[in-house]
Structure 1
Amino acid sequence: MLDHAHRLAALVQSMLKERKASLSATMNVTITAHHPAASGDADQHSFTFRVRQGRRSVTQTVSVRTARVLAQELADRTALDAMMRAIAAAPAADYDTLVGTRYADT
């Protein structure tokens, strides 16, 4: 779990650095799916999302627990931040409504 959070944080930092280097490339993030944890642990429920920035596209997953941590820590107000905040704030009954939601840098 912690290793996944570190890899995801590294991806976020890498994409933020690329964004700052190329301000003309807007970051777009789309939630593509969500999956309950095999254990049934609500905090381990995961979301799959696609990040597009310029010509780069990356698909990644994040657990609800990790999204909550990142939502509190990220302060750049990017598309990725907005998605993390939406996941962290959503009640489990609303997870289906997040699939297909697109977030763009503002």
Structure 2
Amino acid sequence: MNNLPSNPSEYSADQSSIDNLLWQYVQSLNPDTVAQLSKPEPKVAQIMEQNLRGMLGNLPPEHFGMTITTSRENFGQMLASAMMSGYFLHQAKQRMELDKSIQTLHSSRDS
């Protein structure tokens, strides 16, 4: 059954409600937890940086000084994309660690 709203304004209201719940959840987290979640591993940070450079242009910042002007909406979309990339990479890492743990369990059980 299709649970999507019938018109775009309903979707926008539903998304806004979800965004508010997420924001409330993040605000309820322990500051140490937020700090830990805000620091990606160096490899993840490198991938995210490459992703953002791809969106903004590939000029290396150490050789070029540039200013980018955009709207609040476009900046928000770019930020959301970067956050989703980070979330995806974090979930992929967790999945990899789970797979390794399961393989280790299977290997130790077969021995």
TM-score, scaled relative to structure 1: 0.28
For the pair shown, which has the larger CA radius of gyration, 1 or 2?
A: 2
Larger relative helix fraction: 2
Larger relative strand fraction: 1
TM-score, scaled relative to structure 2: 0.27
